[in-house]
């Protein structure tokens, strides 16, 4: 009976979905990063991308001990279901591959000029200056964090 159950679990659609997920480790204090997370979650019809806030050090270190916190502060990291780690522009591109509406953008990001030079250069600039960009846009990071603290499992309390 146990063997039959295990066989049924591996054929289960939910099991396949979880086994194909990627995990995006992002800077939860970054408005640009959080906006990206929100957009991807909206477009992630099959729930293929899991987000893990880099500032939850205990969770990140427990699941991905090889990811250096300081390096991850500089750019998003995506870990695929085989354990391969992507960082920066390639990580964003890899994440979009699993989001159905993101596939056209993923394909554009694979073009040699975009994926080889322009995209990574733009990504590095934005990643390096993301907190300054937040300030220029007038974003109150503390207020945003208070708002995020009111949310649990994607459901937010009305204030």
Contact (Cβ atoms closer than 8 angstroms) between residue 41 and residue 153: no
* pLDDT tens track for 77-99: 999 999 999 999 999 999 999 99
In Å, how far are 73, 118, 147 from 127, measured between CA atoms? 9, 14, 23
CA distance 53 to 60: 8
* Phi/psi of residue 155, nearest 5 degrees: -115, 125
* pLDDT tens track for 3-52: 443 444 334 343 334 457 899 999 988 888 888 999 999 999 999 999 99
Mean pLDDT of 118-137: 87
Is the per-residue pLDDT at 73 higher than 60? yes
Phi-psi region of 138 (alpha: psi -120 to 50; beta: other; left: phi over 0): left
């Amino acid at each position: 009976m146990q063997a039959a159950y295990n066989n049924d679990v591996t054929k289960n659609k939910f099991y396949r979905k979880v086994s194909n997920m990627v995990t995006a480790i992002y800077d939860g204090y970054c408005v640009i990063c959080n906006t990206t997370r929100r957009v991807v979650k909206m477009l992630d019809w099959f729930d293929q991308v899991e987000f893990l806030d880099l500032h939850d050090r205990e969770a990140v270190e427990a699941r991905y001990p090889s990811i250096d916190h300081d390096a991850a502060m500089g750019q998003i990291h995506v870990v695929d279901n085989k354990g391969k780690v992507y960082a920066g522009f390639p990580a964003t591109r890899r994440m979009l591959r699993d989001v159905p509406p993101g596939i056209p953008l993923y394909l554009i990001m694979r073009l040699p000029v975009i994926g080889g030079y322009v995209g990574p250069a733009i990504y590095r600039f934005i990643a390096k200056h993301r907190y300054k960009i937040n300030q220029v846009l007038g974003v109150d990071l503390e207020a945003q964090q208070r708002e995020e603290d009111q949310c649990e499992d994607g459901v937010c309390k009305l204030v």
